[in-house]
């Protein structure tokens, strides 16, 4: 079975850099609103995970969650977390690095 979420080498390198600065991390795929739909990186425990959040897996040793309603749309895809230049979500830790995490996807084989 293919993992539901993976990360590129660039994303894994950034995760390691952020872990050095902030300690253990976690991710939550934003569903819109203020920061659009993007992977948000937080110090572990600083974003409240609820009963409606689904654990998709781990990237760089960090748990990655998505809201269950959003997961219904994405359940047949693999999320590929990458890094691109620019400013991302204002609440996500990578913002000060001049880059942002970006979610790419591909349809999973049945």
Assign 88 a pLDDT band (cuts: 50, 70, 90).
Answer: low
- Is residue 36's pLDDT more than 60? no
- Is residue 110's pLDDT more than 80? no
Q: What is the pLDDT of residue 30?
A: 78
**Dist CA 102 CA 46 (whole Å):** 21
Instruction: State the residue range of the domain holding 26.
Output: 5-107
Nearest 5 degrees, angle CA 100-CA 68-CA 50?
85
Q: Can you give the CATH number for the domain in which 66 is found?
A: 2.60.300
Beta bridge partners of 82: 102
pLDDT digits (tens, 9 = 90+) for 7-25: 999 999 999 999 999 999 9
- Is residue 26's pLDDT more than 60? yes
What's the CA dihedral at 58, 28, 17, 2 to 10 degrees?
30
Beta bridge partners of 101: 83
Assign 32 a pLDDT band (cuts: 50, 70, 90).
Answer: low
Domains: count for the chain: 1
Q: What is the pLDDT of residue 84?
A: 94
pTM of the model: 0.91
Q: What is the pLDDT of residue 87?
A: 76
**Dist CA 12 CA 67 (whole Å):** 23
Q: What is the pLDDT of residue 91?
A: 82
């Amino acid at each position: 079975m293919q993992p539901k979420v993976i990360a590129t080498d660039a994303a894994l390198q950034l995760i390691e850099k952020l872990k050095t600065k902030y300690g253990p991390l976690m991710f939550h795929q934003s569903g819109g609103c203020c920061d659009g739909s993007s992977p948000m990186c937080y110090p572990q425990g600083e974003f409240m995970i609820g009963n409606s959040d689904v654990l998709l897996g781990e990237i760089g040793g960090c748990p990655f969650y998505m809201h269950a309603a959003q997961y219904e749309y994405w359940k047949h895809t693999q999320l590929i977390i990458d890094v691109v230049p620019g400013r991302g979500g204002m609440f996500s830790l990578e913002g000060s690095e001049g880059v942002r995490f970006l979610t790419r996807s591909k349809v999973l084989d049945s």
